[in-house]
Structure 1
Amino acid sequence: MTESTSSLRRQLWQQTWPMAIGVLALLGFQLVDSAFIARLGTQPLAAQSFTFPLSFLIIGVQVGMGIAIAALISRTLGADDMARARRLGTLVLFGGSALMAVLMLIMWLAQTPLFTLLGADTPTRALIRAYWGPQLLANWLGAVLYFGYSLFRAHGDTRLPGKLMVVTSLLNLGLDPLLIFGVGDWSGWGLPGAAWATAIAFAIGIWLLVRRLRSHDWLARHGLRREVRESSGPFVTIAGPAMVSQLMPPLSAMLATWVVAGLGETAVAAWGLASRLETLSLMVVLALTMSLPPWLGRCYGAGDWPRIEALMMLAARTAAIWQLGLGIVMAVAAPWVAVALSGNPEIRDELAMLIRWLLPSYSLLGLCMLVVSASNALGWPMRAMLLSFMRLFVCYLPCLALGAWLAGVFGVAWGAALGNVLAGGLAWGIFRRSLKRRMATAE
């Protein structure tokens, strides 16, 4: 190992581990949240599972904006223009929060046709309606918090976002059983209690973040109108394709849920738990997609392409090895994991089958996610969007639908796994060729 590689590995670890712990805490509470709801019965769990695609869509919009925030600010810092970085930080923090509020309102007004289209029947839609209002509030508070995280990450601070993810997750875990099941003579709020627990935890997180933000000179009060005129074009150039890239997974999730809904309510409940487990198992990859782009953006601003290549190779090896090892362990432990997450024997069996097939395939899925994230940071937003489209609509969904048609839930499991493997291999090959051409041009 050369000194340069050793130094890069140490720096990558220092940037990534706070985000990995934060992502683990954040996704862990979401999984436990679903496990609590599973104790209410199959129908409440299925109701929550129907909301996942729309929640993923909301998250896709906020992540797309967060990508643009991190890319523009990190490139500006790489070019040593702190004044403009302050103006950009102010615009995206407050403008993004307003746009997300509008999106939440649209989601509330359009809930009946959306959930009907996803396959939810009338009793399930009644459960969803009581849950969807507080869940949208929680989603908006989570978006505001995420924009604050993006600002800190763009300035190279991954520790505070990681700490706040842990704090909000612990708060949520403490509030979940209280608000879902109640205490003493109070029977709790059931399914909506899970959403209120998340909303309260995120509100406290925002309060803590604002207190910390006041100690940094990262926001501006002057020159904002001029900055809107100058930066709206670059922001849309990055955020537009990034949002489309991030909106493809929730659209794909909606279509996948629609396919799985044809296999029955139990299959939807198992698929919902598997979706929660998927995001939790990808915590290291998700942390890398948060910590790596600002670093790549600074290298891009400085024109340091050899360092970009070294960073990507190191990140790819780390993601692939970690995910494959974790996938094998989870596949072996699938029966016990399924028992821990669900009390229904039918859900347990189908969930165990999904875990065995899907978890090992995330080693290749992780590579695809890294490539899409890096492409946005390196000025290739259209390429990132096309790679996301290829992954979901050329590889993943066709294989999943074919598997469901041929073999039911078992076919869904191996079909989705095959789609992940194909997508990861194709994305990494395309990225390597593009990077080599760009380095040759720079030389």
Structure 2
Amino acid sequence: MLRVAWPLVVIQLLQVMYNVADTFWLGRLSADAVGALSLAFPLVFLFISVGGGFTAAGAILVAQHTGAGGDRKAGRVAGSTLGFVMLVSLAIAAVGYVAVEPMLSLLPADPDTATDVVPLAAAYMRVFFLATPFLFGFYVFVALMRGYGDTRGPLRVMLVSVAMNVALDPILIFGLGPFDAYGIEGAAWATFASRAVATVIGWYVLFGTSAGPDVRPWDLLPDLGIVGDVVKLGVPSALEQSGTALAFVVLTSMVATFPPGIVAAYGLGNRLISLVFLPAMGLSQATNTVVGQNLGAERADRAWRAVRASLSVIVGVMIPVSLFAAAFPGVIVEVFLPPDAPDAGETIGYATTYLRTAAIMFAFTGAFEVGRGALRGAGRTTTALAFSLIALWGVRVPATYLLVFEYGWGTTGIWWAVVFGDVVGATVVLAWLLRGTWASAVVDTGETAAVDD
């Protein structure tokens, strides 16, 4: 488990480094630029989540066919998934680019937020959508290699891409030598360039080396049978991710009714929380792979042991992390938004309170993430979808509305609604895992037949 998990944890760290680098340098530009990321991210995530579900489905099928000994079948699944997801990414890029202004206009923004923050978010989103095919090109490479059990190859590619992004961010944001200062658009262009390089290298690894699944160029032509299996498993994952993204859009629309400082604090707090949960995301993906391969090999007992080990590790890691975040939230926040940055004072105060409150839920969120990873690895993507919807739409969204607008808690209601959602989500997913009915595969030595609890 740890052999598979540690590269995935590092990959998640590097993945978040794109956002951390953007936040770090844009925090030195202005608090409004950080707030623009807060508005842009959930809208971009809403589009990306559609293809993300199909990528996850391909990884599940590759893992289970690999576990069952069907290496060539795993290669055909990988190729069809890659071809299909790239077609989806082109459609997402086109629709997203033309829909930037209409989407942002739907947010009920505070007047100052509409004037100072929304135009910056639009500039960032337009460039980001141009990069969408490269984003998906690399995502699907990582997912398919993970399903095969190779997590170190994607890690090396990610190192190159992140190093490039970190180097380009300050150059393109503030300008250097022959490069003009592009401000917030510079952060998006840095992402574009670094993702493009990662995609080219990743595809070379898949098609030009013996690493990973036995995928061949003609496998890119989508096989309708395989695409049907990918869609069957991927739609629940896509709905889960889209439901999550849409919930964040609704939450952001509520936060956008506050002044720019609070919008920026919400986005900054979310970025810091995402950094904290890197171990959970890595362990969740490792659990997904190990559970899938063991169930494909008809070793439900080993799948169970992997889930229990992952839960023990993540809770043990998250407890000291939560104690540190609760004790020193201001120090952490000021690393990313220095006090001397324009309009930083109010944002730092609110973000500090948010981080201190959120620290309560860290162990719960870790368990929630790992538990859903186990369900996805078993092919129970509909069950994982249901629990995500419960946590977000059943608890967090209504709690935010009630606490903020009905009970007058203001920003305090925003922070506590986050905690309530993940505590409830962790409780229900752990209760479901204890039932044990999820522990069987969805493939039969090369044939797929999706089932669910």
- TM-score when scaled to structure 2? 0.89
2:230 pairs with 1:235: yes
From 255, 260, 263, the counterpart of 2:250: 255
Matched residue, 1:346: 346
- Structure 1 segment 43-192 matched on structure 2, within 5 A: 43-120=32-109, 121=114, 124-184=117-177, 187-192=180-185
Deviation at 1:338, TM superposition (A): 1.7
From 15, 28, 36, the counterpart of 1:39: 28
From 309, 325, 331, the counterpart of 2:326: 331
Give the direction of change, closer, same or farther, for the CA distance of 1:244–1:39 in structure 2 (3 Å limit): same
CA distance in 2, matches of 1:224, 1:209: 15
CA distance in 2, matches of 1:106, 1:436: 37
| Secondary structure in structure 1 of the residue aligned to 2:409 | helix
Matched residue, 2:306: 311
- TM-score when scaled to structure 1? 0.91
| Secondary structure in structure 1 of the residue aligned to 2:209 | coil
Give the direction of change, closer, same or farther, for the CA distance of 1:308–1:119 in structure 2 (3 Å limit): same
CA RMSD of aligned residues (A): 2.1
CA distance in 1, matches of 2:202, 2:440: 38
Deviation at 1:35, TM superposition (A): 2.3
Does structure 2 retain, via aligned residues, the 8 Å contact 1:73–1:88?
yes
Runs of at least 5 residues in structure 2 that lack an aligned partner in the other structure: 442-453
Report which of the two has the higher share of helix.
Answer: 1
Deviation at 1:254, TM superposition (A): 0.7
Deviations 1:74-102 (A, max 9, x none): 11122222222111111111220110110
Matched residue, 1:403: 403
Give the direction of change, closer, same or farther, for the CA distance of 1:421–1:211 in structure 2 (3 Å limit): same
CA distance in 1, matches of 2:438, 2:90: 42
Deviation at 1:111, TM superposition (A): 1.5
Matched residue, 2:358: 358
Matched residue, 2:447: none
Letter in structure 2 aligned against 1:360: I
Does structure 2 retain, via aligned residues, the 8 Å contact 1:31–1:273?
no
Q: Using the TM superposition, name which of 184-193 and 101-110 deviates more.
A: 184-193
Q: Using the TM superposition, name which of 236-245 and 112-121 deviates more.
A: 112-121
Deviation at 1:240, TM superposition (A): 0.5
Matched residue, 1:215: 209
- Structure 1 segment 237-316 matched on structure 2, within 5 A: 237-316=232-311
CA distance in 1, matches of 2:278, 2:426: 17
Deviations 1:253-306 (A, max 9, x none): 111111111222111111111111121111011112222212211111122111
CA distance in 1, matches of 2:415, 2:123: 31
Deviations 1:128-171 (A, max 9, x none): 33222221123331211010111211111001112222221121
2:416 pairs with 1:423: no
* Count of residue pairs brought into register by the alignment: 427
Does structure 1 retain, via aligned residues, the 8 Å contact 2:395–2:417?
no
Give the direction of change, closer, same or farther, for the CA distance of 1:133–1:345 in structure 2 (3 Å limit): same
Runs of at least 5 residues in structure 1 that lack an aligned partner in the other structure: 1-11
Does structure 1 retain, via aligned residues, the 8 Å contact 2:20–2:271?
yes
Give the direction of change, closer, same or farther, for the CA distance of 1:210–1:235 in structure 2 (3 Å limit): closer
Q: Using the TM superposition, name which of 346-355 and 112-121 deviates more.
A: 112-121
Give the direction of change, closer, same or farther, for the CA distance of 1:249–1:297 in structure 2 (3 Å limit): same
Taking only the aligned residue pairs, the percentage that are identical comes to 24
Does structure 1 retain, via aligned residues, the 8 Å contact 2:84–2:227?
no
Does structure 2 retain, via aligned residues, the 8 Å contact 1:16–1:288?
yes
CA distance in 2, matches of 1:221, 1:209: 14
